[in-house]
Amino acid sequence: MLKVINLTKSYDSRQVLRGITFDAQAGQTVVIMGPSGCGKSTTIRCLNRLTEPDGGKILLNGISVLELNTEQLLKLREKIAFVFQNFNLIEHLTVEENVMLPLIKSDLVRQEIVTRAQQVLEQVQLAERKNDYPANLSGGQKQRVGIARALIIEPNLLLLDEPTASLDPILVKEVLDVIEDLTKTQDQRIVIIVTHQVAFALKVADLILLLDQGQIVEQGHPEEIFSQPQSQLGQKYKQLLDYYRS
């Protein structure tokens, strides 16, 4: 279970997060939405301390993340996967090597890592491209490699930071399909996705957090949020959803 309490973060004098608090249960998919610059990515990066928050508390399965030392944190990250908006693939490694990379420091033998890599690549339907270098892949394929690289560690917490933001609209679907499958097949893993895809959120989210100016203005089940929004931001998303539906 993930418990985030009163998380704050400032860059210089600008306060980016103003007391973010939410809970996520094992197996839940949390979608964070909000306008650009509202603190969505900062929130998700604070969860594995890629960005160090200024204050607050993060409890992951009872572990206070912010109190971990470097070594403990690195250990914890072995079970927290992160999918970057810009893929962050290692350009000099092949698709397979990229996927294997997070496990090379584990105790697993090479062959085991290769097998697992094969599995996750098949899961994202890129097994046949395992020997290609990222430069030869499309944006959607790159992101699917990113997702495979996240899945190989079998994370307790999967963080996806706007996974389709860098893709052109045609490629968005192939990535969203993979993520959708992922959310459907997992049971104990908490998935937190930052996205602007309202329909996708409605489809996959167990909990939606609407952030505005560093604060959660509304949170709840998608049906609640998009049928009876309490916040102005919620209203806007409802209108948008209605527009899509019509």
Partner 1 sequence: MLLFKSDFIKDVVILLLVTIILGTLLSLVIGTISDYYFGDAVDSLIGDYENNDLLLIIDEREKEETVEKIKEVLQTKLPGAKLSTGINLAGKSNLFISVGKKYKRRAVFLNLEDYFNDIKGITTTSLMTEPRLTINGLKNKASQLLEDKIADLDHVAFTFPDGDSLEVIIDEAQFTAQVKEKINTLLNDYQMLGIRFPIKEEVDNLVQLGSKLEKVLKDDYGLAVKNITELNSSELGSLAKTMTEMKSFLSSYASTIKIKVFTGQKIEVGDKLIIPAEDKKKIDLRVSNVNDMIATAVITTGDSSAAVGDLVYNSDSTTAVGKVEINNPRQKLDYLVSELKKLVPQLGSIFNDADSILANLEELFATLQLLKGTTTEIETLNQKLAGYTANIEQLDGREIKANLDSLEHRLEQLVVIITRLEFMRDLILDLRVELTQLESRINAAQAELRVGSNYYNNLQQLAENIAQLKIKVVDNTQEIIDQINRYNPLLKEIKSWQKNVQDFNAVIDKLIKESPQEFAKRLTAVSNKDLITRLQQVRQPASEEKLAAVKEQLVKLRAIDFAGITAQLEYIEQSLPKLKDEEITASIDLLDHYLAGRAIPGAEISLLLPAQNVDLKVIKEEIKTMIPQQISFYDSPVGIIVPNLRNQIYQILSEVKIVLTVVTALLCTSLSLLFDHGLIITSLQELNTEKIFYSNPAFYYSLTMAVITLSSICYLTGIESPYLPWWSSILVGVGLGLIIFKEAAVINDFAKAEFKAGEAFGFNYAQIMRQIIIPAAKPGLLKILNQRQTYF
Q: Does residue 120 bind partner 1 (CB under 8 A)?
A: no
76: contact with partner 1 by CB under 8 A: yes
Q: Choose one: 54-62, 87-95, 114-122, 225-233; the region binding partner 1 (CB under 8 A).
A: 87-95
Q: Does residue 200 interact with partner 1 by CB under 8 A?
A: no
For residues 103 and 178, which CB has a smaller minimum distance to partner 1 in the complex?
103
Does residue number 131 form part of the binding site for partner 1 (CB under 8 A)? no
The verdict on 84 binding partner 1 (CB under 8 A) reads yes
Q: Are 22 and 58 in contact (CB under 8 A)?
A: no
86 binds partner 1 (CB under 8 A): yes
Kindly write out the interface string for residues 46-75 of this chain, putting x where it contacts partner 1 by CB under 8 A and - elsewhere. Answer: --x-x-------------------x--xxx
CA distance 74 to 185: 27
97 binds partner 1 (CB under 8 A): yes
Total interface residues for partner 1 by CB under 8 A = 28
- Point out which span in 27-35, 54-62, 78-86, 179-187 binds partner 1 (CB under 8 A): 78-86
Interacting residue with partner 1 among 10, 15, 22, 78 (CB under 8 A): 78
What backbone torsions phi and psi does residue 186 show, to the nearest 5 degrees? -80, 155
**Should residue 93 be labelled a site residue for partner 1 when binding is judged by CB under 8 A?**
yes
**What's the closest the beta carbon of residue 48 comes to partner 1, in angstroms?**
7
We find the least distance from the C-beta atom of residue 82 to partner 1, in angstroms, to be 4
Instruction: Say if strands 14-24 and 2-11 run parallel, antiparallel, or are unpaired.
Output: antiparallel
Helix 139-151 with 110-123: angle, nearest 10 deg: 130
Give the chain's length. Answer: 246
- Percent helix, strand, coil in the chain, to 5, is 45, 25, 35
Work out which of 104, 112, 128, 199 binds partner 1, going by CB under 8 A.
104
Q: Does 154 bind partner 1 (CB under 8 A)?
A: no
Encoding tokens for residue 136?
């030869």
65 touches 76 (CB < 8 A) = yes
Least Cβ distance, residue 230 to partner 1 (angstroms): 34
Q: Residue 182: which of 169, 170, 192 has the closest Cα?
A: 192
Nearer to partner 1, 23 or 154 (CB): 154
Q: Of the candidates 6, 64, 92, 184, which one interacts with partner 1 according to CB under 8 A?
A: 92
Task: Quickly list H helices, 20-168.
Answer: 40-47, 70-77, 95-100, 110-123, 139-151
Query: 169: burial class by Cβ within 10 Å (0-12, 13-18, 19+)?
Result: exposed
